[in-house]
Amino acid sequence: MDNFQTTIFKILGYFPFSMVDNQILFEYSTKCISSPPQLPTHRWKILYSRYFNRLSSTLSIIPTLFYTLVTFLIIVPLITLQRENHTSKSAESVHSIQRYAKTSTFYVTWNFKSAIHLFCASFVKIGMFLNRKCMHGLLTEIQILSKSLRTISGKNYRNSNKFTKELLIQLIIFLGFITCGIFEVGLVTWHQLGITPAKFFARVTPTTIGYLHSVFSLVVLYYLNWYLELLLEIKVLIGLKFGEIVNSMKIDSMTEILTLYARLAEQVHLFNKTFRFWVIIDMIHSLTRIIISAYYIAIMAKNTVYTVSGLCHDGMTVTLYFYLIYAVCKRGLEIEEESAEIVRKLEVILRWMDRTKFSMIANPGKIQVNMGFFDINLRIMTTIVGTVTTYLIVLIQFQGSDRNQSE
């Protein structure tokens, strides 16, 4: 499924499971496909298949464990570096030589940003490692639902959706921008006076981890793209079967559609349950990056002390993170709207037929991407803009108070 995207996600530690697992695929396939995939019958083929699956599963968790290990290894050097900065008045933080007037507010925001990077990245990756079977099950069920819908519609199965190219472009552009951002941080840090390899590692690694963690939003978008694709397939299927169901009163066709929609709704609910805390933590991380980068831009403009690279870096950060939040919320709203339209069409058909014949699946509900504290849709953008503005004003006020005290 979307091989390039999933490969990048695996390399970055967001898919800690093998994409090819005959055992799980067989278990899920038998639920709705009459001809499950053929498993090997010869002894040597069975042994090879088992060995390959185990090796693939083992290799799949290495990136996740590697990034988590690096996150924990950076904690001690980072604490040591901050103690040196606290005791030495001449110590220079990353980007602070030319870009910022050094105040306690600046040091607090830099330390807080580093801590947020490390906490969010480790929390999400550990959670994915512990729930890798559930994540694999979600992807497998997506594949099975897609096969079922295309079989019923008479279409050939494909392992991509209509949003694959869009996500591919987003991923390539995003990786290009964050590579430039990491390079800029490393270059500025390397040219600081008195920099040592240990200090360079402690200063650059949190930013690198933070940028790489931002790819998690595209992982969420990957799942949402598939759920929207499946909704659109169900919508097309209803259009194809509408006349047949209403005119001939074919209960089997209606039951098939209702069952597929109910299964999709169940999978989105499981996605909400699995990704809930990860998305909340990632949202906190994104808002923190936006607020702090906007604060850096504000104090650069206020003190007329800036570098072009620093201004571009912080401006890029604010733009990219706002776009990631917008893209995910937009897809969530589209899922909500498409499911609402499907429910309206199903209700029209159910009025023509005896609803009691369809048991529990006769009451289809709207599908929402709900994270517990908020729904993923564009309506949350107003709250996000208000939150960013409020905290940005607070940080600027603290910056002004620090400068007045130092003078």
> Which of 153, 324, 320 lies closest to 229 in space, CA to CA?
153
Asked if the model's pLDDT at residue 21 lies above 80, the reply is no
* Burial (Cβ within 10 Å: 0-12, 13-18, ≥19) of residue 97: middle
SS3 17: coil
Q: What's at 191, amino acid-wise?
A: H
Kindly list the distances between the CA atom of residue 379 and the CA atoms of 108, 113, 280, 383, in Å, as whole numbers in the listed order. Answer: 32, 27, 16, 8
Angstrom distance (rounded) from CA 299 to CA 301: 5
- DSSP characters for 52-91? HHHHHHHHHHHHHHHHHHHHHHTHHHHHHHHHHHHH-TT-
The residues that bridge with 375 in the sheet, in sequence order, are 370
Number of neighbouring beta carbons within 10 Å of residue 263: 18
Angstrom distance (rounded) from CA 234 to CA 237: 5
Asked if residues 179 and 214 have their Cβ atoms less than 8 Å apart, the reply is: no
Write out pLDDT tens, residues 56-96: 677 788 888 888 888 888 776 666 666 565 555 444 444 44
What is the chain's mean pLDDT, rounded?
A: 78
Please give the pLDDT value at position 217: 94
Write out pLDDT tens, residues 249-289: 556 677 788 888 889 999 999 999 999 999 999 999 999 99
Most confidently modeled range among 94-98, 102-106, 380-384: 380-384
Kindly list the distances between the CA atom of residue 384 and the CA atoms of 215, 287, 293, 387, in Å, as whole numbers in the listed order. Answer: 20, 8, 15, 5
| Element (DSSP H or E) covering residue 49 | helix 43-73
Angstrom distance (rounded) from CA 236 to CA 232: 6
Please give the pLDDT value at position 184: 84
Over residues 285-309, the mean pLDDT reads 79
Asked if the model's pLDDT at residue 400 lies above 60, the reply is yes
Asked if residues 209 and 181 have their Cβ atoms less than 8 Å apart, the reply is: no
Over residues 88-105, the mean pLDDT reads 48
pTM value is 0.83
Burial 46-82 (b: 16+ CB within 10 A, else e): eeeeeeebeeebeebbebbeebbebbeebeebbeebb
Sign of CA dihedral 90, 94, 96, 102: negative
Over residues 289-297, the mean pLDDT reads 88
Most confidently modeled range among 74-78, 156-160, 242-246, 390-394: 390-394
pLDDT bin (cut points 50, 70, 90) of residue 99 is: very low
Asked if residues 366 and 68 have their Cβ atoms less than 8 Å apart, the reply is: no
Write out pLDDT tens, residues 166-224: 999 999 999 998 898 888 888 888 877 667 787 788 788 888 888 899 899 999 999 99
What's the DSSP call for residue 14?
Answer: S
